[in-house]
Chains A and B, each alone.
Chain A
Amino acid sequence: MSSDTHLHIENISKKFNTVDALRDVDLRIERGSFVCLLGPSGCGKTTLLRIIAGFETATKGRLILDGQDISQQPPHKRGFGMVFQSLALFPHMSVARNIGYGLKLRGVKGAAQRDRIEELLEVIQLPHIADRPVSALSGGQRQRVAIARALAIQPPLFLLDEPLSALDAKLRDNMQIELRQLQQKFGVTTVLVTHDQHEAMMLADELVVLKDGAVRQSAAPSQVYNQPADSFVADFLGAANLIDVGAIKGGTVDLFGTAVSTPAPHMDGDLMLAAVRAEHLVLAPAAAAGTAAPIGAVSFMRDLGPATEFVVTIQGKDLRVRRSNADAQGLDVGSQVALTFDPAQVSLFKAA
């Protein structure tokens, strides 16, 4: 696997007064990849993006773009295209002048500028709105104009700060697909900040999960999902059940009567947490299962359309379970169910 590091975020730390916003963040971003910075509010993801853009300066560490240290470069010299959370379209300029602003600053004028603007309008599928004032655009249209404006300058890096958070659900879903396609078409190295894990899963080649200013995991989305590095990551993505399983012995713990082991080195006696995803738990009516399987009762059941969501109370714990509608046949609130799972799909973490 070739590794062409475009941007190296080298041991970046950021302190605001006494608050550590970022702690020793080290990431290598591959050329042409789509990186999502994901995490809860306050995790430092926006601060990191703004440091990359140049609107904040790191307290420690460097930014290295294609081998050059750009840490001291002012933001208007970096040439990174950026889409802001509020979009920040210039209200006194038409669509064309907004998109053309960066071009104008680079001396691209007249016919050359017009052609480029038209090209971009075609790409974002809004060919006829060049002269409209931005106030006359719908939310989705403004979105796309903001993207076109940032890409017009052919930036080496494309930065987005929660750009889709203001859109309604349906529009957001569509825009996610379009954004991914746009990025693939232009091949531009992209860093996007979001708190929405579904969005991150949709868009990212590389998913970086942050909490309290530190990187918890940085890997392909499927790996982050299926092999979470710690209990926070496991919990943050998807619906995972975190269960206390007591002390580990000989690399194995007991989860509802089944032995679960982990290759990771743990000292005997370490208290552990087991994480198992809602869709990895299997339910069957209690009567049908064997005596070995643990038995619980359904306390909540809801048909969500594509799947059925359950809460099953078993041995005093409430577990989230997600099954297909077919599997849910015959079950109802109050039903006694037997719970089974594949131990390979369980992740084990040391309890914090």
Chain B
Amino acid sequence: MSIQLTRSKALAFSLPALIAILPFLGACFFIFRFSISGEPSRIEGFSIQPYLDLMTPYFGRSVWLTLRLAFIATLLAMVMAVPLAFLLTNLRSRFARRSLTIVILLPLILNLLVQAYGWILLLGPSGVLNSTLRSLGIIERPIFLLFNETGVLLGLVQTSLPLAVFPIVSSVRGISREHLEAASSLGASHWRTFFDVTVPLLRPGLFGAASIVFAFNASAFAIPLLLGGRRVQMMGIAIRDMISPLFNWSGAAAAGMILIFVTLIVLLFSAWLARMTSEKVEH
């Protein structure tokens, strides 16, 4: 009887969490059941009509748009999250570390409506940026950074940054300075060391963070709503539109299932990719 985890103990330890997630799983099942309902506004009968009804070019465009924006936003978020993680782990003063942590968490704290308002004040047609550029004579007409894809990307990157930074911080902590010094002693410049040593060592953490950020961005609703004008029809918006004003709940459920399915594929693919690239020994 080693103190290794016995089956029954493992089950007992997992049970509370499984109970806690049960309502969620119930909701998932509910959604699935709704998506194959025969009636659009209640659960009755079985039919795949809701899925068939979605096979429109409009929906296809929405799916593609969602994937594209989520991907770009994830990329941008990762590109900034890694330096932020480096900065966070390298700061000496406790106060600086505290402050930076809070700054990074801010997007999760501040009400989205208010944040959108802030962006509007900054980047809107009569906002700070445009007014300054106008008065400096650099532009004649305002640049439209909001109420289009750029605005949405901005909002997506902003809200997913905190999600990306903290997992990367844990990975970064696992890199000992000796790895970097070894590369340096062999002649690697800072950039070389970064690409040849740091990134491969961070890779599993990067894939994990990117997966979560991608999933989060793909299901975005409030951001495209507030910062996209009526033009950026990500799947979250499409789903909402089906519910109200259309009351096509089974359609909304079907769209939701498709979104989940697509996201899961991306997650599994990136997990596979992470495994592949870490196992491959570079020759």
Chain A residues packing against B (C-beta within 8 Å): 50, 54-57, 72, 74-75
Contact = CB atoms under 8 A, between A and B. Distances in A.
Contacts of B3: 55, 75
B2 interface: yes
Nearest to B4: A55
Interface in B1-51: 1-3
A74 B3 CA distance: 9
Chain A to chain B: the 4 pairs with minimum beta-carbon distance, closest first? A55-B2, A74-B1, A56-B2, A57-B1
Contacts of A57: 1-2
B171 to A, nearest CB: 22
A168 B9 CA distance: 41
Contacts of A56: 2
Interface of B: 1-3
Nearest to A53: B2
13 contacts: A50-B2, A54-B1, A54-B2, A55-B2, A55-B3, A56-B2, A57-B1, A57-B2, A72-B1, A74-B1, A75-B1, A75-B2, A75-B3
A55 B1 CA distance: 6
A81 B3 CA distance: 16
A16 to B, nearest CB: 12
B276 to A, nearest CB: 27
Nearest to A74: B1
B107 to A, nearest CB: 33
A75 B3 CA distance: 8
A195 to B, nearest CB: 23
Contacts of A75: 1-3
Contacts of B1: 54, 57, 72, 74-75
Contacts of B2: 50, 54-57, 75
A318 to B, nearest CB: 36
Nearest to A50: B2
A269 to B, nearest CB: 49
A107 B1 CA distance: 25
A50 B4 CA distance: 13
Contacts of A72: 1
B175 to A, nearest CB: 21
A56 B4 CA distance: 9
Contacts of A50: 2
Nearest to B1: A74
A56 B1 CA distance: 6
A54 to B, nearest CB: 7
B7 to A, nearest CB: 16
Nearest to B2: A55
A105 to B, nearest CB: 15
B48 to A, nearest CB: 47
A75 B4 CA distance: 12
A56 B2 CA distance: 5
A130 B86 CA distance: 38
A84 to B, nearest CB: 13
B191 to A, nearest CB: 36
A55 B3 CA distance: 6
B9 to A, nearest CB: 13
A252 B1 CA distance: 52
Given A55-B3, A75-B2, 5 more contacts: A54-B1, A54-B2, A55-B2, A57-B1, A74-B1
B193 to A, nearest CB: 29
A200 B276 CA distance: 45
A274 to B, nearest CB: 44
A72 B2 CA distance: 11
B33 to A, nearest CB: 44
A54 B3 CA distance: 9
B205 to A, nearest CB: 24
Nearest to A77: B1
B15 to A, nearest CB: 23
Nearest to A51: B2
A322 to B, nearest CB: 37
Nearest to A57: B1
A130 to B, nearest CB: 28
Contacts of A54: 1-2
A232 B2 CA distance: 32
A152 B86 CA distance: 45
A15 B104 CA distance: 52
A75 B2 CA distance: 7
A57 B3 CA distance: 11
A57 B2 CA distance: 7
B18 to A, nearest CB: 28
A141 to B, nearest CB: 24
A82 to B, nearest CB: 13
A47 to B, nearest CB: 11
A328 B76 CA distance: 72
A335 to B, nearest CB: 42
A57 B4 CA distance: 11
A55 B2 CA distance: 4
B150 to A, nearest CB: 49
A294 to B, nearest CB: 49
